[in-house]
Amino acid sequence: MAFEPLPSVPDHTALEREILAWWDEQGIFDELREQNRGGERFSFIDGPITANNPMGVHHAWGRTLKDVFVRYKAVRGFDQRYQNGFDCQGLWVEVEVEKSLGLNSKREIEEYGLAEFAARCKERVAEYAEVITEQSRRLGMWMDWDNDYHTFSDTNIEYIWRFLKAVHERGWLYKGHRSTPWCPRCGTSISQHELFAGEYKELEHPSLFVRFPLKGREGESLVVWTTTPWTLPANVAAAVRPDAEYGLRDGGWMLAREKEDYEHVARGEDLVGLEYEGPFDELPAQEGVVHRVIAWDDVSLEEGSGIVHIAPGAGTEDFELSRVHGLKVLVAIDESGRMTEEYGPFAGRTTEEVEQPVIDALRERGLLVEAGRIVHRYPTCWRCGTPLLFRVVDDWFIACDEIRQPMLDANATVEWTPAFYSKRMDDWLRNMGDWNISRKRYFGLPLPFYPCTCGRLNVIGSRAELDGRATGGLDQLQELHRPWIDEVPIACEACGEEVRRVTEVGDAWLDAGIIPFSTLGWQNPERIEGGYATGAAEGLSGADLPDHAHWEQWFPADWISEMREQIRLWFYSISFMSVTLEGRSPYRKVLTYEKLLDEHGREMHRSWGNAILADEALDRMGADVMRWMFCEQNPGQNIKFGYGPAQEVRRRLLTLWNSVSFLVTYARIEGYKPRWADLEGGPDAELQPLDRWLLARTQRLVAEMEAAYERYWTPALTGSFESFVDDLSNWYIRRSRRRFYSLDEAAFRTLWYALVQGVRAIGPVMPFLAEHLWQVLVAGPVADAPRSVFLAGWPERSEALADEALVAEVSVVRRVVELGRQARATSGLKLRQPLRRLVVEGAAPAEAHADEIRGELRVKEVEFGEVEASELRVKPNLPVLGPKLGKELGAVRAALEAGEFEELPGGGFRAAGHELSAGEVLVERAGKEGWAVAGGEGVTVALQTTLDPELELEGRVLDLIHELNSMRKEAGLDLTDRIVVTLPESLSDLLAHANWIKEEVLAVEIRTDGGSAEPEIAKA
Ligand SMILES: [Zn+2]
Ligand SMILES: [Zn+2]
């Protein structure tokens, strides 16, 4: 077996499709799972993706992170469950189905028929579950795709019923009558966490100042401010701040401003209790309402008139005030956001449609003081984007006061990455209100609440309990969804009367929150085959319902990962349910990440034309490139995603490809045969120092990668790997190149070892390229090697090959060389021109490597000592210092510019009261005449730039070698072809170095008798 040649650049997309097919055909994933079965367990629980639309590129970020760590644990031999989840019911599915059916209100859904509507919802879920599965496979995600969980399964629903029953038994469940955010299009209330999930949009609304005439005080009015004209017909009170000063002018009372003249000034408390005429007292809704002034400490003195119009049926704070002051609650709008019957001329119109009629009526009645417009941030529905209203309704709540502290305690046991999200979770828990779990909708978890007129609230906890207590309708109950469940009444446990279920369905976060219990078989006595894929999920997957022993093995999750929004959603709901049922967190570690933006940092929107579809990205970038970009990103910051950055990644990944290609090319020419045993103890050849360094450098890579995987920190994975490949390519190969022109075993075996171990370590990040390179480097040419990189295990670090001191030394050497190149660049001399001397300061560990430095920088002598510089200039390293210093940057920059700084040991500086480390500044030292100087991070080099005849001649020889080698390439010669060179007479002085030239260009002979003005070559 021999190495197969590589094309000059990889075709990522084609290569990935080939690998996918090969994995399938070879059953690699199944074999890996088999290999790990019974091993130590790693429990990952997948947060469900909504099976509602194709996957977006933002989902690809999360799914990449999941796969990277699940794969890593698999390579390390951990036994895992690999269960993918789909979120299948609730508002998001309903809204998309409504759109596709052209339905636009709850009435239209009911006309369409709930059974039919449920069928369409299920079809949509089945369709998109398949689409997402295909996209996820394409991304390289390894999951047990025939074993997905679907949250609309009857089993999942039953587990939630059980939870709700437990909540009821603790006395936490209650029916609340309160003002909640309401989406008039979806016709349902929106919970606190959904409110945060929605967007605040900049919207324009009317801004009105309106007079409310005071009773018994002729000619005096209150002036109130409002941006919601539709709430004025539901006004019952006006609130003032008792300790604020109000002034009367032109008959209107408003907050008194300083240095203004008023006819009268009074404190707010003096106005409290006054009665006034409401603006629409003639409406039937207003019958019997006595309008009066109430005291409220939270009246804003910042905007408006300092007098707040109170409509308890249309605002949260207004509603709370109605309880304190015993105010009448007038509910002005129905489910669809239209004014109700009792609002006379406004009845049947939307809140927007009544704006102008209300303004006109106020003007007619002489009550309008001022009408303008205002643009402000306003909450919208997270599903459909409709501006939210406030409406007083009955909703079901879970009280959270008793669970707040236990949830905070549970969160204290969780390790968050990045760590600051732990505090975000705490903040949310400290501020969370009672959980509004009911939605007035159709295709969702049916709340198992059966309130009886006798006062008893019956809560059903399981299907068996329902069967036992049902008084009819069981024969038509095909699954636990509306409309079927609504046809099953039960007998009240207190009075025996027949009672019916409330019509509400549950918050979708209940569906996803129960997963750590429902999918793992909590309290289930015996495993049931296919026992999870029940009800609506039947036929969609083959998921079993495991038994309780299984739950004990896999709960809590060792690790979960979702985006930051899930702090208020999934992380919150699984934690809420788990702390309720088991008193502890359902996860030990969590990785979370921010938002995905376009490459210019703007949000992606289809309507802006900057959205990227996942399919298109996978086709154009390739999955590995996408995965690399996602891994490279600090998850605590938004990612800028796009084809520009992808191109950049693709270009950088070429260094690895070219390094493999280099090895393969020369292995084919020289007949090198790799052996498997080399991967175990390292090559037992006669190693040169550089070989020992690369072997040690590889151990360092493995250690760094292992540490990064173990702390779930992907930027360190890509960072370590990239710096390793740079060392391998730009130091090892560069310095050893000629050893590959003949069969130098030690060099081939060392490079092969390093490349293979590197490919194994990076496999979880870019599985396709790693698998492909494994085929090229190992599976192809080595007999009896594992056929997949993922069956080969982790490249364990070898203590015998490790040498931290050597790795550190070479890293300093590379630094010196880099500075040497910088110094040369400032001198304007060609890279090829040999120079006389380099002086190096602050790089003692590099002393043993003076030869390598000489070779790399083409200098005759390297001296370690003090660099004599005539001038020192220090500038701020802006990308580093900017974020650190903020506003202080200006002062520091000015001090550095003025030369007002002090040098610190270790290469740092002190300026304007700040200590700047070596990495935070850019140091320029101007050399003495005839020297070029460069420095940074504590190392300084000085390069002698004056030339003598010997150096000049050598420079010309090197130019010639370069030219001849270019000619070889242009002539299409093979790397091994020998040539004859003919030089013009004018270059005959270069023949002093004839042997050197011959060696470098593979010439058998150099002639000077051609008569041409230019050098010529011919194949020998
Ligand atoms: Zn909505
Ligand atoms: Zn009863």
Q: How far is the CA of 186 from the centre of ligand 1 (A)?
A: 4
Report cis status (omega within 30 of 0) of the bond before 516.
no
What DSSP string describes 910-962? Answer: EETTEEE-GGGEEEEEEESTTEEEEEETTEEEEEE----HHHHHHHHHHHHHH
**Tens of pLDDT along 213-225?**
999 999 999 999 9
CA of 194 to the centre of ligand 1 (A): 11
Cα-Cα-Cα-Cα torsion 428, 433, 437, 440, nearest 10 degrees, comes to -120
Phi, psi of 711 (to 5 degrees): -105, 15
- pLDDT for 247-257, tens place per residue? 999 999 999 98
Q: Which of 505-514, 659-668, 983-992 has the lowest mean pLDDT?
A: 983-992
Between 520 and 432, the higher pLDDT residue: 520
Sign of the CA dihedral 566, 567, 568, 573?
positive
- Reported as a pLDDT band with limits 50, 70 and 90, residue 1012 is confident
Closest CA to 311 of 297, 300, 294, 302: 294
76-116 per-position pLDDT tens digit = 999 999 999 999 999 889 999 999 999 988 999 999 999 99
Q: Which ligand is nearest to the CA of 104?
A: 1
pLDDT digits (tens, 9 = 90+) for 482-516: 999 999 999 999 999 999 999 999 999 999 999 99
From ligand 2's centre to the CA of 401, what distance in Å?
Answer: 29
Closest ligand to 450 CA?
Answer: 2
Query: CB neighbours of 519 closer than 8 A, spacing ≥ 6?
Result: 45, 83, 85, 149, 156, 532, 543
pLDDT exceeds 80 at position 907:
no
Q: With the CA atoms of 963, 969, 974 and 978 taken in that order, what torsion angle do they form, in degrees rounded to the nearest 10? A: -20
Distance CA 238, CA 232 (A): 11
Rounded distance between C-alpha atoms, residue 162 and residue 164, angstroms: 5
pLDDT reading at 847 higher than 80: yes
Give the ligand at the shortest distance from the Cα of 490: 2
What ligand is nearest to the CA atom of residue 387? 1
Do 944 and 951 contact (CB within 8 A), yes or no? no
Confidence band of 828 (pLDDT split at 50, 70, 90) = confident
* C-alpha atoms less than 13 angstroms from C-alpha of 583 in its C-beta half-sphere: 0
> How would residue 834 be classed by pLDDT, with cut points 50, 70 and 90?
very high
Question: Which bound ligand lies closest to the C-alpha atom of 491?
Answer: 2
Which pLDDT score is estimated for 723? Answer: 97
pLDDT of residue 913: 87
Distance from the CA of 188 to the center of ligand 1, in angstroms?
A: 8
What is the structure's pLDDT at 912? Answer: 87
At 149, the pLDDT band (50, 70, 90 cuts) reads very high
Among 581-585, 878-882, 931-935, top mean pLDDT goes to: 581-585
Expressed in angstroms and rounded, the spacing between residue 185 Cα and the centre of ligand 1 is: 5
410-420 per-position pLDDT tens digit = 999 999 999 99
- Is residue 655 a contact partner of residue 725, using CB atoms and an 8 Å limit? yes
CA of 170 to the centre of ligand 2 (A): 20
Distance (Å) from CA 502 to ligand 1 centroid? 22
Q: Which ligand is nearest to the CA of 455?
A: 2
Averaged over 115-141, what is the pLDDT?
A: 97
Distance 741 CA to ligand 1 centre (A): 69
In the reported structure, the alpha carbon of residue 190 is separated from the centroid of ligand 1 by a whole-number distance in angstroms of 9
State in Å, rounded, how far the first CA of the chain is from the last one.
32
Closest ligand to C-alpha of residue 457 is 2
Distance 905 CA to ligand 2 centre (A): 83
Mean pLDDT of 577-596: 98
pLDDT at 784 over 70: yes
Report pLDDT digits (tens) over 333-347. 999 999 999 999 999
Under 8 Å CB-to-CB from 735, ≥6 apart: which residues? 690, 852, 855, 856
User: Using N-to-C axis directions, what is the helix angle for 643-670 and 767-774, rounded to 10°?
Assistant: 10
**What is the 457 CA–ligand 2 centroid distance (Å)?**
8
Q: Supply the DSSP string of 701-731, one letter for each residue.
A: HHHHHHHHHHTT-HHHHHHHHHHHHHHIIII
Higher pLDDT residue, 385 or 46?
46
Question: What's the rounded Cα separation, in Å, for the pair 816 and 930?
Answer: 19
Rounded to an integer, the average pLDDT of 25-39 is 97
pTM across the whole model: 0.85
Ligand 2 center from residue 451 Cα (angstroms): 8
Calculate how far, in angstroms, residue 179's C-alpha sits from the geometric centre of ligand 2. Answer: 28
Q: 501 C-alpha to center of ligand 2: Å?
A: 13
How far is ligand 2, taken at its centre, from the CA of residue 485, in Å? 20
pLDDT(822) > 80: yes
Distance 490 CA to ligand 2 centre (A): 10
- Give the Å distance between the CA of 261 and the centre of ligand 2: 66
Which ligand does the CA of 494 lie closest to? Answer: 2
C-alpha of residue 486 to centroid of ligand 1, in Å? 24
Ligand number nearest to the C-alpha of 92: 1
736 vs 923 pLDDT, higher one:
736
| Cα 189 to ligand 1 centre (Å) | 9
CB atoms near residue 273 (< 10 Å): 10
Res 870: pLDDT? 65
How far is the centre of ligand 2, averaged over its atoms, from the C-alpha of 285 (Å)? Answer: 34
SS3 594: coil
Per-residue pLDDT tens digits for 371-390: 999 999 999 998 888 999 99
The amino acid at residue 970 is E
Q: Tell me which residues have their CB within 5 A of the ion that is ligand 1.
A: 183, 185-186, 381, 383-384, 386
Mean of the per-residue pLDDT values for the chain?
A: 94
